[in-house]
């Protein structure tokens, strides 16, 4: 076929126009979109619960655990490992098992091993990255360094400094590749200067300022940015609102059960293939459920974006078999301590519930035990130091240790009535040997032995070293006992054999 001169010119112009359009047109018109699937598996606030356990029957439907699909014989890291590995197999390895902090302080594993058992079990279970929570700092600095050094997975934290060097103690973030989709995971934790390791040599940067500076840099290196946050769910919402560019926040610290993900929208940045905001997840506590967040990513020649997501919490129950290697690791740490902590020391005629909002039967038991051990007029104990209920039936040392998983030494103080009232207002403690009623921030009634507290008189008050450091560092220590709060409660129950819940109106908060 012969093309004339004018026809040739038209053909040339057409070809030129096509080339220009090819250069200027969006890549999506010429390239097939790519998709990736990435599944995050997550836990938070496991607090030493390496073995299965049971909650008591809920005292009322408002308690969080009442909404769980199962409350008896739940949890256990060996079961969790099996579930995580099953999902990894289904997803052809495109999964990441992460933790948002506070693996310490909740059971005898932490009391005896100070984190070593927890990190060894997590290594066996296949964890890939975590951020330290405030309870990870409740050891010596040397032990904290040992724990992070022996874990087979990295810990990340962008706002934790080594005071001696002024540098970050841990990497700020890690990047991972999922078939070409780049995922950056950074850590952020709640400033906790009052904890032992921090006192010995750690400093904290402002988490929001750190995130504002770090996230734009990560967006230049990765498609998806994930924050492991030990700030609490309300702070995670603020973080999502304050720092654009975070695709997912896996949270901890507040023990929040998000049965479905929370979403913080940034509509002004949304487009057809991006969800337009930040997904926030958290999986309650103690490993009773494994969080699962399935992410669907898409790209058209540029970076991958988060196109869609689905999230849910998976029950960890007795129907899930133990992962053999993880179970073996847990057994290696459990067997040496099982005899002492398995000792039956008494019986509870009914469940002693922990209730921080008003009078607590467990809190009363602990305060009474401390006062008896110290032989003082009064005892005070903080509501935050109670970590579990005592179930009806046989009481083992293990059960008491889950209530008091800290090694806190008992101290007897000599303080004026005025200082005593200040302490009541400061932290509304559980008490023994006295009664008080608080309305709002004010003490409207406070008596010792039925007599109103005399602000000028001196009282002998038993408490623990932790509370002395927080609230009573200015008060004279009359004596320091060679016994911990755990031992005091064990001795108290052993002496009585049978205990019943005591609610006598000694602490009324209105």
pLDDT in tens, 332-351: 999 999 999 999 999 999 99
pLDDT tens digits, one per residue of 13-52 = 544 444 444 444 444 444 689 999 999 999 999 999 999 9
Helix axes 141-150, 116-125, angle to 10 degrees: 20
Examine the pLDDT at 84 and tell me if it is beyond 60: yes
Examine the pLDDT at 384 and tell me if it is beyond 70: yes
Tokens 């408002």 belong to residue: 62
pLDDT tens digits, one per residue of 188-227 = 999 999 999 999 999 999 999 999 999 999 999 999 999 9
> Domains in the chain, start-ordered, CATH in brackets?
34-334 (3.60.21.10), 343-509 (3.90.780.10)
Contact assessment for residue 3 and residue 11, using Cβ atoms and an 8 Å cutoff: yes
Contact assessment for residue 67 and residue 93, using Cβ atoms and an 8 Å cutoff: no
Examine the pLDDT at 187 and tell me if it is beyond 80: yes
Question: E strands along 259-370, which residues?
Answer: 262-265, 277-281, 289-299, 305-315, 344-348
Q: What strand order describes the sheet that includes 458-464?
A: 430-432, 378-381, 458-464, 409-416, 476-484
Examine the pLDDT at 11 and tell me if it is beyond 80: no
Residues in CB range of 365: below 8 A, 6 or more apart: 352, 390, 489, 492, 499, 502
Listed residue (209, 253, 290) closest to 100, CA to CA? 253
Listed residue (407, 486, 388, 472) closest to 75, CA to CA? 388
Indicate the DSSP class of residue 55. P
Residue 23 has a pLDDT of 43
Listed residue (458, 468, 469) closest to 419, CA to CA? 458
Give the count of beta carbons closer than 10 Å to the beta carbon of residue 45.
Answer: 27
Cα–Cα distance for residue pair 486/483, rounded to 1 Å: 8
* Residue bearing the bigger pLDDT, 68 or 302: 68
Contact assessment for residue 336 and residue 75, using Cβ atoms and an 8 Å cutoff: no
Residue 268 has a pLDDT of 62
| Structure-token pair, residue 339 | 């005899």
Cα–Cα distance for residue pair 287/142, rounded to 1 Å: 27
Determine the 3-state secondary structure of 299 from DSSP. strand
Q: How confident is the model at residue 271 (pLDDT cuts 50, 70, 90)?
A: low
Tokens 């073996």 belong to residue: 328
Q: Whole-prediction pTM value?
A: 0.91
Residue 363 has a pLDDT of 97
Question: What percent of the chain lies above the pLDDT cut of 70?
Answer: 93
Residues in CB range of 397: below 8 A, 6 or more apart: 108, 340, 341, 342, 343, 345, 490
Q: Is the dihedral of CA 312, 317, 322, 328 positive or negative?
A: positive
| Structure-token pair, residue 374 | 């110290």
* Residue bearing the bigger pLDDT, 271 or 3: 271
Tokens 């290697």 belong to residue: 325
Residue 10 has a pLDDT of 53
Helix axes 116-125, 77-90, angle to 10 degrees: 30
Instruction: Tell me the chain's radius of gyration from C-alpha atoms.
Output: 28
Cα–Cα distance for residue pair 313/53, rounded to 1 Å: 18
Mean pLDDT of the chain: 93
* Residue bearing the bigger pLDDT, 23 or 278: 278
Examine the pLDDT at 475 and tell me if it is beyond 90: yes
Cα–Cα distance for residue pair 227/250, rounded to 1 Å: 6
Listed residue (307, 314, 295) closest to 271, CA to CA? 307
Contact assessment for residue 371 and residue 378, using Cβ atoms and an 8 Å cutoff: yes
Cα–Cα distance for residue pair 218/209, rounded to 1 Å: 15
Examine the pLDDT at 248 and tell me if it is beyond 90: yes
Cα–Cα distance for residue pair 442/437, rounded to 1 Å: 9
Listed residue (286, 240, 303) closest to 27, CA to CA? 303
Q: How confident is the model at residue 66 (pLDDT cuts 50, 70, 90)?
A: very high
Examine the pLDDT at 471 and tell me if it is beyond 80: yes
pLDDT tens digits, one per residue of 103-132 = 999 999 999 999 999 999 999 999 999 999
pLDDT tens digits, one per residue of 137-184 = 999 999 999 999 999 999 999 999 999 999 999 999 999 999 999 999
Contact assessment for residue 75 and residue 121, using Cβ atoms and an 8 Å cutoff: no
């Amino acid at each position: 076929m012969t093309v004339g001169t004018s026809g040739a010119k038209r053909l040339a112009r057409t070809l030129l126009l096509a080339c220009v359009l090819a250069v200027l047109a969006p890549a999506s018109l010429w390239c097939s979109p790519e998709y990736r699937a990435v599944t995050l598996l997550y836990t938070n606030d496991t607090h030493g619960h390496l073995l299965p356990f049971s909650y008591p029957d809920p005292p009322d439907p408002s308690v969080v655990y009442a909404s769980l699909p199962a409350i008896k014989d739940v949890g256990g890291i060996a079961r969790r490992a099996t579930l995580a590995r099953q999902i990894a197999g289904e997803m052809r390895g495109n999964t990441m098992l992460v933790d948002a902090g506070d693996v310490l302080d909740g059971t005898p594993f932490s009391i005896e091993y100070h984190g070593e058992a927890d990190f060894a079990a997590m290594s066996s279970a296949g964890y890939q990255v975590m951020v330290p929570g405030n309870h990870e700092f409740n050891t010596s600095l040397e032990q904290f360094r040992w724990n992070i050094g022996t874990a087979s997975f990295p810990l990340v934290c962008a706002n934790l400094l080594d005071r001696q060097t002024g540098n970050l103690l841990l990497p700020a973030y890690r990047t991972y590749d999922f078939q070409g989709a780049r995922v950056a995971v950074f850590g952020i934790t709640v400033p906790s200067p009052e904890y032992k390791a921090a006192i010995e040599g750690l400093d904290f940067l402002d988490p929001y300022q750190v995130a504002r500076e770090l996230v734009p840099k990560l967006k230049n290196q990765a498609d998806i940015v994930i924050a492991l946050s030990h700030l609490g769910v309300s702070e995670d919402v603020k973080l999502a609102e304050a720092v654009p560019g975070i695709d997912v926040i896996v949270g901890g610290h507040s023990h929040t059960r998000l049965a479905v993900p929370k979403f913080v929208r940034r509509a002004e940045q949304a487009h057809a293939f991006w969800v337009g905001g930040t997904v926030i997840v958290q999986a309650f506590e103690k490993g009773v459920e494994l969080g699962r967040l399935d992410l669907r990513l898409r790209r058209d020649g540029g970076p991958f974006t988060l196109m869609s997501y689905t999230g849910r919490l998976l029950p960890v129950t007795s129907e899930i078999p133990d992962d053999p290697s993880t179970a073996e690791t847990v057994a290696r740490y459990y067997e040496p301590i099982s005899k002492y902590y398995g000792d039956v020391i008494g019986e509870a005629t009914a469940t002693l519930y922990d209730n921080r909002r008003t009078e607590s039967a467990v809190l009363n038991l602990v305060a009474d035990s401390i006062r008896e051990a110290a032989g003082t007029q009064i005892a005070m104990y903080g509501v935050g130091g109670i970590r579990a209920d005592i179930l009806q039936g046989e009481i083992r040392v293990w059960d008491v240790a889950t209530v008091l998983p800290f090694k806190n030494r008992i101290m007897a103080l000599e303080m004026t009535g005025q200082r005593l009232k200040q302490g009541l207002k400061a932290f509304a403690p559980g008490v023994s040997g006295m009664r008080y009623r608080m309305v709002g921030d004010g003490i409207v009634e406070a008596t010792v032995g039925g007599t109103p507290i005399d602000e000028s008189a001196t009282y002998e008050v038993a408490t623990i070293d932790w509370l002395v450091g927080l609230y009573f560092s200015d008060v004279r220590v009359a004596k320091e006992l060679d016994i911990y709060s755990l031992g005091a409660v064990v001795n108290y129950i052993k002496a009585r054999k049978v205990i019943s819940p005591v609610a006598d109106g000694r602490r009324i908060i209105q």
